[in-house]
């Protein structure tokens, strides 16, 4: 009652008035006031003390009719350009390239050109990823295909190290969420026959099997591996454990619930 109805009076130390209105003894009043003063005025801080991590996507993917369009996010583009005044002064002077101003202008032009080339490469890599993982954008993780940097490098006629730099710490905003570029490079898993399966698709299957399991008899990692094998996806038990842990799903013994 004190915290709900008399908090302002407590802040003004009007304890006698609060005691009169509440109708309690002085000892009870002192104990109650001490308790209220000891409470945390911001209790939510105990549950949300960590700062959220935010990322700004480097490329944005959107669907226009039946096509997926990849564009560089304008927010990440550096606003670098030549200062027109100095460029004009250089043009009006002797224009010697070996002069200090001429060298600085040349360096500025190279810098702007290299920055533009870098973002052109990022966009080309993004477009190639979207083309290779087109089914992901239609159907989600279950349709993700195995992909390696070498595949992108060969298609774009780039060195693999160039593709690695273009994808490192880069993010792509899609209708399914924002993902790091490396998310689109799941490793290839061994599958029966000539089938192909990615690690991302296997994780989706594991998650779906766990979601459909009986809570009184949850699937162990061995059982999950056997079920995947029945679908032609060959995974060791330890790999299933690794994927389950990556999805923050507890083991079978912690998922088991007694029948109601």
Are 156 and 125 in contact by the 8 Å Cβ rule? The answer is yes
pLDDT tens column, 146-178:
999 999 999 999 999 999 999 999 999 999 999
Which residue ranges of the chain lie beneath pLDDT 50? none
Q: What is the pLDDT of residues 92-110, one digit of tens each?
A: 665 566 677 677 778 888 8
Q: What is the CATH number of domain 199-255?
A: 1.10.10
- pTM for this structure? 0.65
pLDDT for 84: 73
| Whether the Cβ atoms of residue 189 and residue 235 lie closer than 8 Å to each other | yes
* Per-residue confidence (pLDDT) for residue 97, from 0 to 100: 60
Domain ranges of the chain: 1-38, 59-184, 199-255
The DSSP-derived string for the chain is -HHHH-HHHHHTT-HHHHHHHHT--HHHHHHHHHHHHTS-S-GGGGTS-SPPP----SEEEEEETTEEEEEE-GGGS------HHHHHHHHHS---TTSHHHHHHHHHHHHHHHHHHHHHHHHHHHHHHHHHTHHHHHH-GGGPPP--HHHHHHHHT--HHHHHHHHTT-EEEETTEEEEGGGG-PPEE-BSTT--EEHHHHHHHHHHHHHTSBTTBPPPHHHHHHHHHHTTB---HHHHHHHHHHTTPPPHHHH-----
Q: Please give the pLDDT value at position 170.
A: 96
């Amino acid at each position: 009652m004190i915290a709900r109805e008399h908090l302002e009076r407590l802040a003004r130390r009007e304890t006698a008035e609060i005691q009169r209105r509440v109708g309690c003894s002085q000892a009870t009043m002192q104990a109650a006031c001490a308790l209220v003063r000891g409470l945390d005025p911001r209790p939510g801080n105990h549950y949300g003390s960590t700062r959220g991590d935010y990322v700004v996507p480097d490329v944005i993917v959107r669907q226009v009719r039946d096509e997926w369009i990849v564009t560089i996010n304008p927010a990440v583009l550096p606003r670098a350009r030549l200062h027109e005044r100095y460029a004009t002064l250089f043009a009006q002077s002797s224009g010697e390239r070996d002069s200090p101003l001429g060298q600085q202008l040349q360096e500025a032009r190279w810098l702007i050109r290299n920055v533009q080339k870098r973002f052109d490469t990022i966009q080309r890599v993004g477009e190639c990823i979207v083309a290779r993982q087109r089914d992901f954008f239609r159907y989600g993780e279950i349709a993700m295909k195995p992909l390696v940097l070498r595949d992108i490098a060969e298609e774009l006629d780039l060195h693999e190290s160039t593709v690695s730099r273009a994808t490192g710490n880069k993010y792509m905003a899609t209708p399914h969420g924002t993902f790091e570029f490396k998310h689109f490079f799941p490793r290839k898993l061994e599958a029966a026959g000539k089938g192909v399966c990615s690690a991302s698709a296997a994780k989706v299957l594991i998650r779906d099997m766990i979601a459909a399991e009986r809570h009184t008899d949850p699937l162990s990692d061995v059982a999950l591996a056997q079920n995947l094998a029945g679908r032609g996806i060959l995974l060791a038990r330890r790999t299933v454990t690794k994927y389950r842990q990556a999805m923050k799903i507890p083991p079978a013994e912690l998922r088991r619930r007694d029948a109601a």
